[in-house]
Structure 1
Amino acid sequence: MPLSIIKALISRPKFAFQQIQQQQISGWIPFLLIIISLQLFWLIYFAQVDIQWLIADSLNSLAAQASPSEQQALAEQLTPELIRYSSHISSSLMLILQTLLVATYLNIATKLDSHNTDTLKDWFGFYWWVQLPTVAQLLLSVIVLWITGSNQFNLYDLQVTSINQILGLQAGDALFSFAATFDVFSVWSFILMFYGLSVKTQLKSSTIINICVIPVLITLSFSYVFS
């Protein structure tokens, strides 16, 4: 059944969320798929990347924002082990935190529907289904890594479907972080959230679109302010 639901999320997203709602399918399924895929991605990435090049590239990107003494301290602290462990752990924690924040937002925003009784826990599980395109995104990144055969690829280079492939912004440019990470899989998640909310609430389509767009606008604003 979970496999059929995942297939339906591609071709019949509204039907998929109806099945999830009716059968009360747990959010643990997409959560485990995403977290396991993420950990496998890091294993493959670090098995292929030139770790010394990655350290140098990371230091170069931080150089403009750090003093010489801070650069020296970073160079001493940024070890291969630290990069590996921090990537495995921090990426998962950030994903969980992001899900919690969006779930909190949805729990508040959907109060516009007086008939909706979903709790924060319900929205937390729901948003993992919305993020399932992350698995396809990670798979594509691995394929790109293997096809190129290069061992000098940072994470942004692997985002081959991002809008930055069109805009061509550089690190440090306004909106670079947003443009480099927002891609077709982000659009897919946006569509899934729309259909999911249309099943779980009785809100108008225009209201649901506004609810879906606000997190994107917030991310865009943060990217601009902190670039």
Structure 2
Amino acid sequence: MQQVSNPFQAMKDIITKPNQVFATINEVHNWSWIPFLFIATFGAIPIYLYFNFVDFAWYNELMVQSVAGELSPGEQSAVRNAMADQAQSLWAGVFGSVFVVIISNAILALYFNFATKADEECVQSYTDWYGFAWWISLPTIVCSLISIVVVLLAQDNQLSPVSLSPTSLAFIFSIDMASPWASLTQSIRLESIWVMYLTSVGLSQWTHFSAKRNYIIAIAPYLLIWVIWALSIVF
């Protein structure tokens, strides 16, 4: 199998030749910094643009009604007064987006490390799987690019924060921010299917499991979280 010569080529080829990419990164080291930097940067840009564009007074009131809409006027006022100002919200969003993907991929790597223990020939360490997690997360850049376009083309600065997740069910089906389903539907995104596919491809290159088992490992964490989340809303 022809190998990939550099991490930038790997980022391009993962769209059309994911098997070659994962076979290559199984043999090389320190390439995962590149997808990390791209994911972190492109994930932060739409948040920066959004908070420099949105009507912040309107945004604050939207957040108050979303989290405290059923509380008394006095309690809503307390929530309103406790909210960060525009600059604080901007930088909290930018750095928070980077922190969230670092932690979520760290947890995902732990899951992969545990799930592949049954393969006695699998020699990858936790740090290998952490690097792996950044490669399978590359489809999130597509969502970030779309959200950048959505913010830049917006005519009304009373733009819902759901616009930062343009591939989510919340955006596609216009789920109201006050809905109990808002957070869950924002987390269910179209690129998740692509991420699951890349995970199964990567596992096929890094382990000796069957294709069926690879798909189960790839799908299980997302499906489990979404089902538990949905049940918590219903009950």
Q: TM-score, normalised by structure 1?
A: 0.89
> 1:40: which partner in 2?
45
Larger relative helix fraction: 1
Q: Which amino acid aligns with 2:56?
A: I
Unaligned runs of 5+ in 1: none
Deviation per CA, 1:124-162: give whole Å up to 9, x if none.
111011111111211111112222323122232343333
C-alpha distance in 2, partners of 1:13/1:111? 23
Q: Give the aligned CA root-mean-square deviation in angstroms.
A: 2.1
> 1:111: which partner in 2?
117
> 1:124: which partner in 2?
130
C-alpha distance in 2, partners of 1:160/1:129? 21
Taking every aligned residue pair, what percent have the same amino acid on both sides?
Answer: 27
1:11 is aligned to 2:54:
no
C-alpha distance in 2, partners of 1:110/1:170? 40
Say which SS state the counterpart of residue 160 (structure 1) adopts.
Answer: coil
> 2:60: which partner in 1?
55
1:215 is aligned to 2:209:
no
- On the 8 A contact 1:177/1:223 being kept in 2, the answer is no
Unaligned runs of 5+ in 2: 1-5
Say which SS state the counterpart of residue 31 (structure 2) adopts.
Answer: coil
- On the 8 A contact 1:14/1:196 being kept in 2, the answer is yes
C-alpha distance in 2, partners of 1:176/1:58? 12
Bigger RCO (CA 8 Å, 6+ sep): 1
Deviation per CA, 1:188-214: give whole Å up to 9, x if none.
111111111111111111111111111
Q: Which amino acid aligns with 1:212?
A: A
Deviating more after overlay: 57-66 vs 128-137:
57-66
- On the 8 A contact 2:7/2:31 being kept in 1, the answer is no
- On the 8 A contact 1:163/1:179 being kept in 2, the answer is yes
Q: TM-score, normalised by structure 2?
A: 0.87
Deviating more after overlay: 210-219 vs 70-79:
70-79
1:64 is aligned to 2:69:
yes
C-alpha distance in 2, partners of 1:100/1:66? 37
Deviating more after overlay: 138-147 vs 214-223:
214-223
Q: Which amino acid aligns with 1:142?
A: I
Alignment of 1:45-194 (within 5 A): 45-64=50-69, 66=71, 68-78=73-83, 79-164=85-170, 169-171=175-177, 173=179, 175-194=181-200
